[in-house]
Structure 1
Amino acid sequence: MNKLLLIEDDEALALGIEFTLRDEGYEVVRGATLAQGKGFFEKEEFDLILLDINLPDGNGYDLCKYIRTKSEVPIIFLTALDDEVNVVLGLEIGGDDYITKPFRVRELLSRIKALIRRSSKTQAGGTKMKSGELEINTLDTTVKKKGQEITLTAQEYKLLLIFMSNSNVMMKREEILSKLIEGDEVFFDENTLSVYIKRIREKIEDNPREPQYIVTQRGLGYKWNGEVVRL
């Protein structure tokens, strides 16, 4: 049984979400403040976290940043703020997805299942891929550059695997998104993809403004530039 942490200060909404998730077979731990979120996170292991942005004693961004110093557990932001700036900020600091209130239960469940499945897939397998100064070990999901480990979220890791598995092939944005969502309902858009690619570049490139690995093909898409050797 997957265990979820729900941090939402709207009690009526939180109760509704908790009831739905329990009905779907999830174990749910619920809190309403940033402090409670930190406390639960420190004491228990979770498969996914649902995190409201506006909290009585702070905001979900701060809790997300705190969690990311210790864990790469998938995080979905629950937000009433649907403007681009807030969405991008949530992804930039380590969120894996976001859903704007009000939302349909089916949509929320779809996103939760997709992220948990994707996260568990990154822990399976057992091969190494090397390209330039980068190396991925899919057995323990580590990514290293010049021997130094790089921390990626589950979505960033999946996207990096997609690129390295299709080296020197120009991929359209739609194709990349299709591989990323693996047939799930489409809830990533091109802006979200751009944010993920920006974040990965900041972690793997010597100069993110002049990328050597993930190269933009203007008007077409992206390409992993370089040979990939499987070890």
Structure 2
Amino acid sequence: MSPTSQPVEPQRNVTALPRVLIIDDDRALCSSLERLLRLEGYEVALAHTAPDGLERAITEPYDLLVLDVMLPGGDGRVLLKKLRTTSEVPVIMLTARGDEKDRIHGLEAGADDYLPKPFHVRELLARMRSVLKRRMATPASPQLVKLGDLEIDPGPRLVRRDGEDITLTGTEFEILLLLVKSFGRVVTRDEIAEACLGRTIGAFDRSVDNHISNLRRKLGATWQDKERIQSLRGSGYIYTAGDSA
């Protein structure tokens, strides 16, 4: 594997408190979140513009980013796309009024989850814990998974298609691994949400569907004339591009 095939991130001390960067121009909200998160045992850094936020995110080690869509000096989604060229740090994106387009574009840019404003801080904390738990979890005996043109290595969380590295967000990786391990079986949206988002979803919550769309785009919709991830209306999703044997 080429040394530049995967994003290179600043190294973190794994024994340190979780370090969070909040990028939002609402200074009152940032101050409130900083105070509450510190009480919950997080180290918190703040940035109020897109350029400052991107520089901090690239040059300093963080365990999680909380990123607003609308920022002075740039769009949060554009910032995230730039960040994803060098970093796989988990990102929760904040969107105004639960705008569906903002959510879709945020997930396409590489967000792991999103939260519409206004929100309750306990909801944000729950999302943060869920993302960090998934990120830090390492299988006791990670086994290399091969199916069709894909090779998935759960330990370093790497995905290759025909030997080429594919960059996925943490959430996308978890969803793909779940579907591949459930090869040939329908996995419901609720199952995916609980296992990979760490929460339940409502009937109109399209977050799982948006992540699936990203996976299809990154991995290719088909393999050997087989639809990679089939959608069964009212049921869920099923991975069929491969040989169960």
Q: TM-score, normalised by structure 2?
A: 0.85
Residues 122 and 33 (structure 1 numbering): CA distance in 2 closer, same or farther, change over 3 Å?
Answer: farther
Residues 114 and 206 (structure 1 numbering): CA distance in 2 closer, same or farther, change over 3 Å?
Answer: closer
Shift of 1:68: 0.7
Shift of 1:192: 1.0
Q: Which residue identity does 2:155 align to in structure 1?
A: L
Separation of aligned partners in 2, 1:43 and 1:175: 36
Contact 2:185 2:238 in 1 (8 A): yes
> Would you say 1:199 and 2:214 are equivalent positions?
yes
Residues 60 and 211 (structure 1 numbering): CA distance in 2 closer, same or farther, change over 3 Å?
Answer: farther
Runs (5+) with no aligned partner, structure 2: 1-16
Match of 2:193 among 153, 167, 177: 177
> Would you say 1:152 and 2:168 are equivalent positions?
yes
Show the 5 A alignment for 1:41-56: 41-56=57-72
Separation of aligned partners in 1, 2:169 and 2:191: 21
Comparing 219-228 and 190-199, the one that deviates more: 219-228
Deviations, residues 181-213 of structure 1 (Å, cap 9, x unaligned): 4xx4425764111111111011112549x7622
Match of 1:107 among 120, 123, 140: 123
Shift of 1:149: 0.7
Match of 2:235 in 1: 220
Residues 36 and 187 (structure 1 numbering): CA distance in 2 closer, same or farther, change over 3 Å?
Answer: farther
Contact 2:97 2:118 in 1 (8 A): no
Separation of aligned partners in 1, 2:169 and 2:229: 17
SS at match of 2:93: strand
Contact 1:47 1:116 in 2 (8 A): yes
Contact 1:5 1:30 in 2 (8 A): yes
Match of 2:9 in 1: none
Contact 2:58 2:83 in 1 (8 A): no
Separation of aligned partners in 2, 1:178 and 1:76: 17
Q: Which residue identity does 1:92 align to in structure 2?
A: E
Residues 21 and 207 (structure 1 numbering): CA distance in 2 closer, same or farther, change over 3 Å?
Answer: same
Runs (5+) with no aligned partner, structure 1: none
Residues 18 and 135 (structure 1 numbering): CA distance in 2 closer, same or farther, change over 3 Å?
Answer: same
Show the 5 A alignment for 1:49-198: 49-121=65-137, 125-181=141-197, 184-186=198-200, 190-198=205-213
Residues 39 and 218 (structure 1 numbering): CA distance in 2 closer, same or farther, change over 3 Å?
Answer: closer
Separation of aligned partners in 2, 1:220 and 1:81: 29
Root-mean-square deviation over aligned CA pairs: 2.0
Q: Which residue identity does 1:71 align to in structure 2?
A: S
